[in-house]
Amino acid sequence: MRYEISKQGNSTILQINEERFDAKLAPAFRNHVEAIQQELGDYIVLDIQNVKFMDSSGLGALMAIYKLLKDKNIAVANAQSPVLSLFKLTRMDRLIKTFDSVDAALETAV
Protein backbone atom coordinates (compact mmCIF):
# COMPACT_ATOMS: atom_id res chain seq x y z
CA MET A 1 0.00 0.00 0.00
CA ARG A 2 1.30 3.44 -0.95
CA TYR A 3 0.85 6.13 1.66
CA GLU A 4 2.58 9.12 3.22
CA ILE A 5 2.62 10.18 6.84
CA SER A 6 3.17 13.74 7.99
CA LYS A 7 2.69 15.60 11.25
CA GLN A 8 1.42 19.07 12.00
CA GLY A 9 1.57 19.86 15.69
CA ASN A 10 -0.30 17.11 17.53
CA SER A 11 -2.03 15.95 14.34
CA THR A 12 -1.03 13.12 12.05
CA ILE A 13 -1.99 13.10 8.37
CA LEU A 14 -2.15 9.71 6.66
CA GLN A 15 -2.38 10.26 2.92
CA ILE A 16 -3.46 7.14 1.05
CA ASN A 17 -1.96 7.13 -2.44
CA GLU A 18 -4.04 4.37 -3.99
CA GLU A 19 -7.02 4.58 -6.35
CA ARG A 20 -8.73 1.57 -4.79
CA PHE A 21 -9.13 0.92 -1.07
CA ASP A 22 -10.52 -2.59 -1.16
CA ALA A 23 -10.03 -6.14 0.12
CA LYS A 24 -6.56 -6.24 -1.41
CA LEU A 25 -5.27 -3.24 0.58
CA ALA A 26 -7.46 -3.08 3.69
CA PRO A 27 -5.57 -5.69 5.77
CA ALA A 28 -2.19 -4.06 5.07
CA PHE A 29 -3.57 -0.65 6.05
CA ARG A 30 -5.06 -1.97 9.28
CA ASN A 31 -1.84 -3.81 10.18
CA HIS A 32 0.32 -0.78 9.44
CA VAL A 33 -1.77 1.57 11.57
CA GLU A 34 -1.71 -0.96 14.43
CA ALA A 35 2.08 -1.08 14.17
CA ILE A 36 2.53 2.71 14.33
CA GLN A 37 -0.32 3.63 16.67
CA GLN A 38 2.04 4.82 19.43
CA GLU A 39 3.60 7.33 17.01
CA LEU A 40 0.30 8.90 15.96
CA GLY A 41 -0.87 12.27 17.21
CA ASP A 42 -4.12 12.82 19.11
CA TYR A 43 -5.86 13.93 15.93
CA ILE A 44 -5.64 11.80 12.80
CA VAL A 45 -6.67 12.95 9.33
CA LEU A 46 -7.02 10.32 6.63
CA ASP A 47 -6.44 12.12 3.34
CA ILE A 48 -8.16 9.93 0.75
CA GLN A 49 -8.08 12.34 -2.19
CA ASN A 50 -6.57 9.69 -4.47
CA VAL A 51 -9.07 6.97 -3.49
CA LYS A 52 -11.68 6.68 -6.23
CA PHE A 53 -13.18 3.38 -5.06
CA MET A 54 -13.77 1.91 -1.62
CA ASP A 55 -15.57 -1.33 -0.86
CA SER A 56 -16.85 -2.87 2.37
CA SER A 57 -13.34 -4.11 3.22
CA GLY A 58 -12.04 -0.55 3.07
CA LEU A 59 -14.90 0.62 5.27
CA GLY A 60 -14.21 -2.27 7.62
CA ALA A 61 -10.56 -1.27 7.87
CA LEU A 62 -11.56 2.30 8.72
CA MET A 63 -13.99 1.03 11.35
CA ALA A 64 -11.28 -1.21 12.84
CA ILE A 65 -8.93 1.79 13.02
CA TYR A 66 -11.70 3.90 14.57
CA LYS A 67 -12.14 1.28 17.31
CA LEU A 68 -8.41 0.69 17.77
CA LEU A 69 -7.73 4.40 18.17
CA LYS A 70 -10.80 5.18 20.26
CA ASP A 71 -8.78 7.57 22.43
CA LYS A 72 -7.93 9.70 19.37
CA ASN A 73 -10.01 11.89 17.07
CA ILE A 74 -10.20 10.66 13.48
CA ALA A 75 -11.37 12.55 10.41
CA VAL A 76 -11.46 11.92 6.67
CA ALA A 77 -10.49 14.62 4.19
CA ASN A 78 -10.76 15.05 0.42
CA ALA A 79 -13.13 12.13 -0.19
CA GLN A 80 -14.13 11.68 -3.84
CA SER A 81 -17.87 11.79 -4.52
CA PRO A 82 -18.42 7.98 -4.74
CA VAL A 83 -16.52 7.39 -1.50
CA LEU A 84 -18.32 10.23 0.27
CA SER A 85 -21.65 8.78 -0.91
CA LEU A 86 -20.65 5.41 0.55
CA PHE A 87 -19.81 7.09 3.87
CA LYS A 88 -23.23 8.73 3.95
CA LEU A 89 -25.10 5.60 2.82
CA THR A 90 -23.51 3.52 5.58
CA ARG A 91 -23.78 6.40 8.06
CA MET A 92 -20.07 6.16 8.67
CA ASP A 93 -19.98 9.96 8.47
CA ARG A 94 -21.74 10.01 11.85
CA LEU A 95 -18.75 8.29 13.46
CA ILE A 96 -15.90 9.72 11.42
CA LYS A 97 -16.25 13.34 10.38
CA THR A 98 -15.58 14.20 6.76
CA PHE A 99 -14.02 17.43 5.50
CA ASP A 100 -13.48 18.96 2.07
CA SER A 101 -9.76 19.46 2.72
CA VAL A 102 -6.97 18.51 5.09
CA ASP A 103 -6.74 22.16 6.18
CA ALA A 104 -10.44 22.22 7.10
CA ALA A 105 -9.99 19.02 9.11
CA LEU A 106 -6.93 20.40 10.89
CA GLU A 107 -8.80 23.58 11.84
CA THR A 108 -11.10 21.50 14.04
CA ALA A 109 -8.09 19.98 15.83
CA VAL A 110 -7.08 23.32 17.32
- What are the structural domains, with CATH classification, of the chain? 3-31+41-107 (3.30.750.24)
> For 48-87, how does the pLDDT look when each residue is reduced to its tens digit (9 = 90+)?
999 999 999 999 999 999 999 999 999 999 999 999 999 9
pTM of the model: 0.92
> For 13-51, how does the pLDDT look when each residue is reduced to its tens digit (9 = 90+)?
999 999 999 999 999 999 999 999 999 999 999 999 999
Are the CB atoms for 86 and 98 separated by under 8 Å?
A: no
Are the CB atoms for 86 and 54 separated by under 8 Å?
A: yes
- The stretches of 1-110 forming alpha helices (DSSP H) are 26-36, 56-68, 81-89, 102-107
In angstroms, the CA 91 to CA 16 distance is 22
